[in-house]
Amino acid sequence: MAAKKLETPITLDEIDRLRSGETVSLSGVLIAARDAAHKRIVSSLESNQPLPFDLKDRMVFYLGPSPVPPGKTSGSIGPTTSARMDGLTEPLLKAGVRAFIGKGR
């Protein structure tokens, strides 16, 4: 079966059409963040401070830390454990985030 192709920003209608077990090919802009960034984003939302990016219909990638090797712009990128951000999920959903990508058990 071919992967279902999705591009961010993603709408609720597109999410509603997804089914458990489907393979998804995702492209577009992701917001990459982990614990400290989530706390800063939620703090900004709670104090009505503007963010430097739009959360509406976006996906957040729970990015694990990785050192940047000399001469490179980025280290390797991979998911970090999603459960650590559970307490910060609801405000992000209310601000328009549609999905999260991370690592489970």
Going through 34-103 in order, the beta strands assigned E by DSSP cover: 59-62, 99-101
For residue 65, what are the contacts with CB-CB under 8 A and spacing of at least 6? 34, 80
pTM tops 0.85: no
Which segments of the chain have a pLDDT < 70? none
Q: Are 57 and 86 in contact (CB under 8 A)?
A: no
7 is catalytic: no
For residue range 67-95, what is the model confidence (pLDDT) as tens digits?
899 999 888 888 888 888 899 999 999 99
CA end-to-end span of the chain: 26
Q: Which of 31, 33, 34, 38 is catalytic?
A: 38
Dist CA 105 CA 85 (whole Å): 14
| % residues pLDDT > 70 (the chain) | 99
Query: CA 20 from chain center: how many Å?
Result: 19
